[in-house]
Amino acid sequence: MSDALFDVAGKLALITGSSRGLGAELARGLAERGAQVILHGRDPDKLAGAAERLAGETGAEVAYVAFDVTDAAAVKQAIAEVITAHGLPDILVNNAGLQKRAPFAEFQPAEWDAVVATNLSSAFYVANALAGPMSERGSGKIVNLGSVQSKLARETIAPYSASKGGVAMLTQGMAADLARYNIQVNCISPGYFQTDMNTALWQDADFDAWIKKRTPAARWGQLDELIGTLIYLCSDASNFVSGQNIFVDGGMTSVV
């Protein structure tokens, strides 16, 4: 009985930004547990390779779709095509993200726009396109990717922090509207993980030492440590959980 609560086998999951890095690992976690996975990115060739590898390694059904998550019209069209070709997803994971670093006074407006569009607006666009069909069906799981920067700021990344704070509040707003339709919307906020986006950080000896001192667990997170929370939020085990922001951060946001 307890295993059935966490069963995602046969569910159709769309994961944005999943041709590599964190998104690819989240897709793998769902695929290894029997979900049908739709990878997303902007480069069809990279996606085709990623889909072939994931299918070969997991035995799961893996498709892919290429579109720009920052283009509202492109998102709407692509989601309609996904539904026609594969059916309506049971699970949406809004993972697409972008990081740019600069002192606040030197940040350019175009860079702000790019970060907010990729991290925050895209989550709205994709979820908005799926919310109507999911509401009509009467079920859905939406997981947005936040960050410890949803709660904590750090120098040189003010736009990123603002965008991830927005993701956390967007999650609550979506939950307020969609819970009545049996759609659960939650947020996973990772701490510092050894991802492609963070390569410059975890290869920096001083920053590496700072992270290990700042984090109660005294280490970086490993990507597979996000999977348990993801499966929980995508399964029946979380059917009465909505609007929550779960920090998977080794205790970082719990201490000063």
As averages over each run of 10 residues, the pLDDT of the chain (256 residues) reads: 85 98 97 98 98 98 98 98 98 97 98 98 98 98 98 96 98 98 98 84 92 97 96 98 98 96
Rounded to the nearest 5°, which phi and psi values hold at 146?
-100, -140
CA 240 to chain centre: 20
Phi, psi (deg, nearest 5) at residue 209: -65, -40
The CATH T-level fold of domain 2-248 is Rossmann fold (3.40.50)
Active site residues: 160
Q: What is the 3-state secondary structure (H, E, C) of 27-62?
A: HHHHHCCCCEEEEEECCHHHHHHHHHHHHHHHCCCE
Q: Which helix (H) or strand (E) holds 246?
A: strand 245-248
The amino acid at residue 208 is: D
**Under a CB-based contact definition with an 8 Å cutoff, are residues 121 and 129 in contact?**
no
Please report the pLDDT score of residue 199 as a whole number.
81
Separation of alpha carbons 145 and 95, rounded Å = 5
